[in-house]
């Protein structure tokens, strides 16, 4: 008779079920200066999301009556296991940074009524303090909450009319993949590296899709696998939506 620490086939590195999120925490008002700020954690992944609300819009949008929401994503050099060079020192943004910043901005704009926002700008800075997979999805999820706080701040200050609601819904995001041949939700870094396919899905609070970005890392994926990943992602986003609502329900 023996016991074995060998995980059962298909078991995940941290023992989670395939459809299980890591522990998620959303800490509002982590910063004193920002109009909205959130420290969001998906397990060891830790992203600081700061929403800066400013009156006025970029030049190309002036006079339109419409506001603007944008995002910038970055990783601290030692957020990862080995230190990465600073993009400020290299003097140029990498493609991945650009790509993720654009993704976050688009995701948030999907639930923003820019007319209701008026000619104001909200910039969401999403800085990864510690990375263990899923930094972009944590960033989207936390940035939404910071955005909601900044919008509420602007309404209290009268910068956005009380009668208007700039947010038409909520967004959250999660990663899914095919790891060891099986679909899994919210991949950690070691899972991400091992995954045959990696997909990031951004959903609205009512379960529709804002972004679906799936990439075969080594082996192309078929329609059945795609469907399985989409199912996991939709359920994961629904759970994240609840957590966002709970966080926002607490007095700030």
Which residue positions form the known binding site for phosphate? 96, 134-136
Q: Are 131 and 188 in contact (CB under 8 A)?
A: no
**74: contact with a copy of itself by CB under 8 A:** yes
The count of other CB atoms within 10 Å of the CB of residue 156 is: 10
Tell me the C-alpha to C-alpha distance, in Å, between residue 191 and each of 9, 33, 115, 134.
15, 36, 42, 11
187-226: contacts with a copy of itself (CB under 8 A): 199, 203-204, 207-216, 218, 220-223, 226
Distance of alpha carbon 158 from its chain centroid, rounded?
28
Q: Which is nearer to a copy of itself, 102 or 249 (CB)?
A: 102
224-243: contacts with a copy of itself (CB under 8 A): 226, 230, 234
By CB under 8 A, which span of 60-68, 125-133, 136-144, 175-183 interacts with a copy of itself? 125-133
**How far is 168 from 115, CA to CA, in rounded Å?**
11
- In the complex, least distance from residue 113 CB atom to a copy of itself, rounded to whole angstroms: 11
- In the complex, least distance from residue 160 CB atom to a copy of itself, rounded to whole angstroms: 18
Burial (CB count within 10 angstroms: exposed 0-12, middle 13-18, buried 19+), residue 107? buried
Contact pattern for a copy of itself over residues 2 through 21, marking x by CB under 8 A: --------------------
Contact pattern for a copy of itself over residues 144 through 183, marking x by CB under 8 A: ----------------------------------------
Q: Are 148 and 248 in contact (CB under 8 A)?
A: yes
Distance of alpha carbon 28 from its chain centroid, rounded?
15
Pair type for strands 68-75 and 120-130? parallel
- In the complex, least distance from residue 225 CB atom to a copy of itself, rounded to whole angstroms: 8
Query: Which residue in the set 25, 66, 70, 80 belongs to the binding site for a copy of itself (CB under 8 A)?
Result: 80
Query: Which residue in the set 11, 129, 228, 243 belongs to the binding site for a copy of itself (CB under 8 A)?
Result: 129
Which backbone phi and psi does 137 adopt, to 5 degrees? -75, -40
Query: Which residue in the set 16, 18, 19, 31 belongs to the binding site for a copy of itself (CB under 8 A)?
Result: 31
């Amino acid at each position: 008779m023996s016991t074995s620490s060998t995980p059962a086939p298909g078991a995940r590195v941290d023992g989670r079920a395939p459809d299980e999120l890591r522990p998620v925490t959303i800490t509002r008002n982590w910063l004193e200066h920002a109009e909205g700020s959130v420290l969001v954690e998906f397990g060891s992944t830790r992203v600081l999301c700061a929403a800066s609300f400013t009156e006025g819009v970029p030049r190309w949008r002036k006079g339109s009556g419409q506001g603007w929401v944008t995002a910038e994503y970055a990783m601290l050099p030692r957020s990862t296991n080995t230190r990465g060079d600073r993009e400020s020192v290299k003097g140029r943004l990498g493609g991945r940074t650009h790509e993720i910043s654009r993704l976050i901005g688009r995701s948030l704009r999907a639930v923003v009524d820019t007319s209701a926002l008026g000619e104001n700008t909200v910039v969401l800075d999403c800085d990864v303090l510690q990375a263990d997979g899923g930094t972009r999805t944590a960033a989207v999820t936390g940035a939404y909450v910071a955005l909601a706080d900044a919008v509420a701040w602007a309404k209290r200050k009268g910068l956005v009319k009380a009668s208007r609601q700039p947010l038409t819904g909520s967004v959250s995001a999660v990663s899914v993949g095919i790891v060891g041949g099986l679909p899994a939700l919210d991949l950690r870094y070691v899972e991400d590296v091992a995954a045959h396919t990696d997909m990031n899905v951004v959903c609205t609070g009512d379960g529709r899709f804002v972004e679906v970005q799936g990439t075969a890392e080594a082996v192309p994926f078929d329609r059945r696998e795609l469907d399985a990943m989409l199912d996991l992602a939709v359920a994961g986003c629904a759970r994240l939506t609840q957590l966002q609502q709970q966080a926002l329900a607490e007095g700030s």
